[in-house]
Structure 1
Amino acid sequence: MRPRLITAAVIALPLGLVPVVSAASAPPPGTPAAVKPVIESVPLTAARGLTRAAEVRELTPEEPFAMAAVRWAGPAPDMLEIQARDTGGSWGEWIELEAVDGLDKGQRGRSAASEPAWVGDSTALRVRAERDGTTVPARSLTAVLIDPGTSSGDGIAPKAGVTTPRPTIVSRAAWGADESIRTGCFQQQGIGVEYSPTVKAATIHHTAGENDYTAADSARIVRGIYAYHAQTLQWCDVGYNVLVDKYGQIFEGRFGGLDRPVWGAHAGGFNKFTVGVSMLGTFTDVAPSSAQLEAVSQFVAWKLARGYRDPNGTVTLTSGGGGTSKYPEGTEVTLPTIYGHRDVGATECPGELGYQQLPSIRQRVTELMGEWTTSPVYQRWTADGADSGGLGGVFRLEQGAANGGLSTTFASGTKSVYWSEATGAHVIGGAIRDTWTRHGAEGGYLGYPKSDERGTPDGVGRYNHFAGSNGSIYWTNGTGAHEIRGAIKTKWASLGWERSPLRYPTTDERGTPDGTGRYNHFQRGSIYWTPSYGARAIYGAIRAKWAQLGWERGPLGYPKSDEHGTPDGRGRYNHFQHGSVYWTGSTGAHAIYGAIKTKWGQLGWERSFLGYPTSDEFAVSGGRRSNFEHGYIVWKPSTGAVARRY
C-alpha cells in the first residue's frame, strides 16, 4: 500500500519562467561554463490515451528530455507513476513519483507537484495517476520535461577514499549552475539566501528516477533538479544542501556556503536547524552503493564534528507545518541527530533500503568524527553554556586558522571564538571583529585575541586586547571600532585610557602624509609618534592651533612633548620640533618659535615681564614679531630679537 501523497506548498508563478537578471560574477579560470537547462510544461490533455479507458497518457515532445515531473490541480494523487522511452526506442521501468516536500517559508502556492525523476535521455513519456481508485482526469495533470544540457564539466572523476576532514565537494560552478536563475528569482521575489541560527541535525533523502546513470550523468541530474526546484517550483534554488551520487561524488546544492546553516527546502516543516543530504537515485528496491554511503558519511561527519553535534544523540525540533509534514505546526518532535526524511514527512524517502542504512551511516560518521570533543573551541563553547549560553549554536563550522589555530563562528554570525596555543580561546564579535578582520584578522599584525570582548570601566565602550603589536580595538556607539597599538597605545594607557583627556580613539593608527610619523585621533585630541620623539599627546586649543598652522607640515613640525601645565598654574603648552604653543584661558593658544622663542625663554618664559603670548609670530617691516600680555618681541636680521614693554 503506497502512502498517500500530500500537497506540497509551492509558490504559484508561471511555469518555466526564466527571470532576466544581471550576470553573475565570473567564475575562476578553467571552470566549466554555466548551463541553462530547458524546461517544457505540457498539459496531459495534449497527450493521447492508450489502454483501459485512457488510464495511461503518452507524450511525445518535439525535443528530448532527461528528467520528468508532474504537477496537478486539486487533491494529490494516491498513485503517480511515469515511464520514459529512451533514444533507442525502448520503454523503461515505471517510476513512482512522490510529492515535493520542501518549502516551509514564504508565500504559499496554488499548485502541487512531484519530485523530478531522472529517466535518462528520452523521447517520450507515459503518465498514469489514480485518486481514490479512479484515474485522475488528464485536465488536472501537467508533465514537466527537463533537458539539463551538457557541459565540459560533466563526468567529473570520482574521488575515492577521501579521508580529509572536509571531503572533496563539486562546487556549483563545477557542475554548471547558471546563477542567473537563482539571482533572478531572488530579485523577482525580493528575497535572498536565508540562514538558520545553527544546524542541529542531518536529514537523509533520496531523489527519484533510475539508478543506472553514469558518472557523466550526475552533474546533469543536479542541474535538472536545480532548474525544476528553482524555476518550476519557484524555490529559487536547489532544495537540498548537498547531493551525493552512487560514485561517491558530493555536489554542492543550495547556495550560501556549506560551512554555514543555509536554510534549505528539503523537508517541509523541518528545514530550520537541519542540513539536507540527498542521495541520487531511488532506494526502494535497490540499496545505495558503498561509495555513496561513504561520501554521505564523510560529509555528515564534517558537518557535525565541526558544528559540535553528537551523531548518536537526539534533537528536539519544532514542526513548521505545511508541505507533507507528519506533524502539525508547533509540534515538538524528538529525532535522532541523523534521521530519514520519512521520520518527519509523509513519504517513503529515502526508500526502504536507504532508510535501513541509517544505523550504518551513524556508526561510520562516529568513526570519522574521532575525538571531536577535544577541540579547545568546543570546550570553551560548552563551558559558556553551549546552545543555551551567550554564544548560541555554531553558525560557521570550526575551521583552521593561521599558525595552527582554530576558529568557530556563533550567534547567527555575530560572534566568533578564536584559539591559538599561545593565547587560548577568546570571544570576538561585532564591529570589533570587523575592524580586526579588515586588518588581517589573526594573520595580521594584531594576531590572535588574548582577551574576550569586555566592557570598559566607564560603561560606555567595549574592547579586545590582542597578542600582536601591543594592540587593542576599542569601540563605542559614537566612535565605532578602532585599533590602537604600539607606542601610541602605551602613551594612551599612561594618560588613563578612555578616562584620559583624550577619551576614545576615533581612527585606527595611520601614517602621516610626510611618511615620518604615525598617529591616532581621539575624541578630544591626538597622539603623534615619530622615531625621534616617541609618542606625544596633543589636544584641545593647542591641537587646534597646530592644525591651523598645517599639522606636522607647518612651521612647528612634530610635537616633542605632551601637553603640560606651566609652573605658574595659569597656562598649558606643548613643545614641537621648531617651536611651542602656549595657552591660557584669557590669551588663547599661540605659536612661538625661532629666535623670538629663544629670547622669551632667556627672559623667563611666561614668568618674565612679558607674560604669555597673545599672538602668533607675524611679519613686520624687515622682520618678525610676537605680541605678549605686557609687551612684544621684534626680530630683525640687523638687531636680532629685542623685547619691549608696552
Structure 2
Amino acid sequence: MLHKRRLGTPQARPVTSAILAAALVASAAAGVEATKILQTQGSSIDPVTPTMSTESLASGDSVVVDDPAIAAQGEGDGPRTVKQFTKDQEFSQFALTWTGQKDIAAYFRGQRADGSWTEWFNAEPLDYSSDAPGAKNGTDLIYIEPTKTVQVSLSGVDLTSANNSASVQTPADGQGSQTPSADAAAPAAPAAPAAESTTATTAPAATGGTAPLPTNFGDIKPVAETDSTATSANDIEAVFMDGGESELPANGINLAADSDGMPRVISRAGWGADESMRCSNPEYDDHTAAIVIHHTAGSNNYTEAEAPGIVRGIYAYHAQTLGWCDIGYQSLADKYGNLYEGRYGGLNKSVHGAHAGGFNSNTWAISMLGNYDTVQPTAAMIKSVGELAGWRAKVGGFDPTGTDTHYSEGSSYTFYPSGTKVTLPNIFAHRDVGTTACPGQYAYAQMDTIRQYAKSKYNSILSGTSTSGGGLTTTTPKATATAAAPTTTQAQSTGGTTNTGNTGATSNTATNATTATELLDTLINSSSNGNTSNAASLGTAGSLAALALGLAASQGALGDVSTVGNVQVVDGLKLSQITPILSDVATVLGDPQMSTTINSVASTLGNVLGSPRSGVTTYASTNGETVKYALFDNGIVVDSPSTGAQALWGAIGDAWASQGFDLGPLGLPTTQEYSTGSLTRVDFQNGYITYDPATGKVDIQTK
C-alpha cells in the first residue's frame, strides 16, 4: 500500500493494459466459488498479542537533522526538523494515525543497536477508510527493525509549536544517508553523547519561548496540497508496535476437498492471530475475479522468525488501531517463500478486503513483506506468490494469464473515476489501479513471472498432477521481462572459450570470455572465504566492473556461473549493484552527450531509466579511453569517444552486468535498444544481446 512520492521528481502514471481478452476459459477450467470455508486449524501456536503503545506526535523531541536524505527532498537547502521518540521498551514497527482527511508525506527511520540508522522509509497514507465508529486514518505500519528510537520526517505538519528546544544532528561522516528511495542508506549518526563525533547541541530559546528551529521542515512537499495551513502535531498520534518472534509450524492449512493443489499456507492459528481482536464477521463478495499484488513497504532486513511478528503487527494495526476489524489483505508472503492466511473468512471464499481503494470488490490480495521499490524480491517469494495466485485463480475459475473488465468504485486513491470501465490482467499490481508505487519497481517487473508461475500451478491442478501443501515442484515457467536476472540457457561448459577480439586489453584486466569468467570465479571464492583483497584490487582497473564486482564480492552477493548464448555469466549480478561515487545528479543534465541520450530515450520510450541516482563518474579504460557513466533508478548511461553515449536498462542491461560489465567479453554498448524482427537488440563493441518480449529469453553472442 505504498504510495509513490519520490518528491521533486515527476512520476509517469502506470499504463494499464487496453487490450481486451477474446479467449474464453474452457469449461473444464471454469471453477465455482467454494461453498465450504476452507478449514484453517492446521498446526497452530498460542495466540500472540503484539505490544502496542501510542502517544501524541507533539510529545516527541524536535531534532534538527542535517541529513542529505531529507534536505534533498523538496526546495531549499539546510537541515530539517524531525520528531524523535525514544522508548524504554523495544519496538519494530511504527506508524502515524489521525482522524479526518489529511495530506501528509512522512518518512521514518530507526536507530540500530550499534548507533547507526536505517534508511528513511517512505510511509504513505493507507488507501482505505472505515466508517466504523472510532475508525482512524493513518500511514502504512512500517517495519523499521527492532529499535528503541525512531525519527519522523514530515511535511504539512507544524512540528515546532509544542516544543521550546531542539537538538541538532549532523552525520558523523559529513555525508549523511542516501535518499529515502535508495536501496541502502549510509548511516547518519544518532542523537549521541557529546563524546561522539556527532554534533548535538540545544538551540537557544527564541522570544516567546519558542526555539529558532528551521522553518523549512515543510519543504518535503506532499503530492497534492489540499490546505496551506499545516496540521498541528497535537492532531497526530505515533504508534509503536512489536509483534515479536516465533517459529513457523511445519504444516500449513488442513486440506479440504476444494483445496486441491493449494501450496503450503500458514493459517491464522499458525502465525498466532489473536482472534479476539476481530470486531465483526467477514463480508463476502459474490465471486473473485482478479488477484492484486502488493508489498507492505518498510525494511527488508527481517529474519524468518521475525516475519510472523510483522504479520501480527499489521493485523493489530489494521484491526484495532485503524478500526478495520481485521487485516486488510487476504494473504501475505515473506521473502523466504512462506505464505500466510490473512483476512478471516476462508482463503477459498470471496472475502471482501481492504487493500486497493476503488477496486476492493471481487479482488483478492497477496501482499509481500518488505519494500520492493528498493531491492529485488527473492526467487522463493516470487514462486510462492505465483503458486498461491494460481491455486486461487483455479478456485475462482479464471485464467491467471487472462484479462477481465472491472468498474471502478471511485476513491481518492485511484486515478479511475467511479464507474470507469477498466480492462485489467487477472493478476495485476496495485499500481495498475492506484496512485501508488506498490508493489515497487522490482516486484512490478516480476509480474509476468508471477503470472507464469500461476499458470503453471493452475494447469497442474487441472491436469491432476499438482499436490497440496507445497509438495509439488512445478515446472519452472518461462521467464519474462523483469528487472531480475535474465533467463539463462544452460549449456555444458567447455572449460574455456576463444578470445573475442577485444582490443587494448592488458594482462591485468582481462577482457576475453575465459579470463572474465576466471575473474568472477576468483571473486566468488574470495568472498565465500571472507577474503575481499581480490575485490579491492579491482580498484586499480578503474572500471564499472571494479565497483560492482568489488561490492558484490564483499557482500557475498555473487552467484553461480552459468551460460547464456556463448558467454558465461554470474547469476543475479545486476546494474543495480554499481555503487554511486558522485551524488551531484545535476552534473548528469549538465553533460551534453548524456543529456541528449536521456532525452532521446525518454521521447521514444518514456521514463524507462527513472531518475538519476549519481553524478557523472569518469575513469580510464584499459585502452586508454576516458569513459563516463551515470546511474539511474532503472539503468545506466555510458559514454566513451569510440562508442558515444548509450543507455542500458531492463533485462538487456542486467544481462550485460552479469557478463562482467565493461570487463566482460562484450565491452561497452555501441547502440540503444532497437527492434530486429520480434526481438529487441543492443550491440556492443564485441557482440550483441537480444531479448524476446514474448518469451523473456535473453541471448548473448560475441563476435
TM-score (norm 2): 0.46
Q: For the pair shown, which has the larger CA radius of gyration, 1 or 2?
A: 1
Larger RCO, structure (CA 8 Å, separation 6 or more): 2
TM-score (norm 1): 0.49
Select the structure that is richer in strand. 1
